[in-house]
Amino acid sequence: MSGVGLDLLEIERLEAALARRPSLAARLFTDGERAYAAARSRPGQHLAARFCAKEAVAKALGLEAWAWRDIEVVSEGGAPRIVLHGALADRDVTVDVSLTHSRGTAGAVAMVRT
């Protein structure tokens, strides 16, 4: 199995959604992802990139239904990496991801390899 996924998002769109529904962040992002973003000057920018990464991974895996927190972006000083949890954890795949953001847009590309 191999696949590629791409996703783009206007950062303000996610920031507005999170402002309207503060509990949304806990539904979409893991504790680690929220902590990483909270330590940055514009958390919404980093959450938007992680949102895009999750969408890109889901596309690369060909998923139609999945839990947001089952795809986690882990950043530990180097390049971000993807950790799969829950129903996705037993997949024998490697997922590479690249995140980007500008002032207004966030994006991610994911590549799945077996």
pTM, two decimal places: 0.95
pLDDT for residue 73:
98
Say if residue 59 is exposed, middle or buried (CB neighbours under 10 Å; 0-12, 13-18, 19+).
middle
Query: Residue 84 corresponds to which tokens in the numbers above?
Result: 């799969």
Q: In the structure, what pLDDT confidence band is assigned to residue 1 with cuts at 50, 70 and 90?
A: low
Task: Give, for 54, the enclosing helix (H) or strand (E).
Answer: helix 43-61
In the predicted model, is pLDDT for residue 23 greater than 80?
Answer: yes
Query: 74 has which bridge partners?
Result: 81
* Domain boundaries along the sequence of the chain: 3-113
Block residue for tokens 């037993």:
90
**Considering the domain 3-113 in this protein, what is its CATH number?**
3.90.470.20
Find the largest Cα–Cα distance for the chain. Answer: 40
Q: Which of 53, 31, 40, 36 is nearest to 99 (CA)?
A: 53
Beta bridge partners of 94: 113
- DSSP conformation class of 34: H
pLDDT digits (tens, 9 = 90+) for 38-75: 999 999 999 999 999 999 999 999 999 999 999 999 99
| Distance separating alpha carbons of residues 107 and 98, to the nearest angstrom | 8
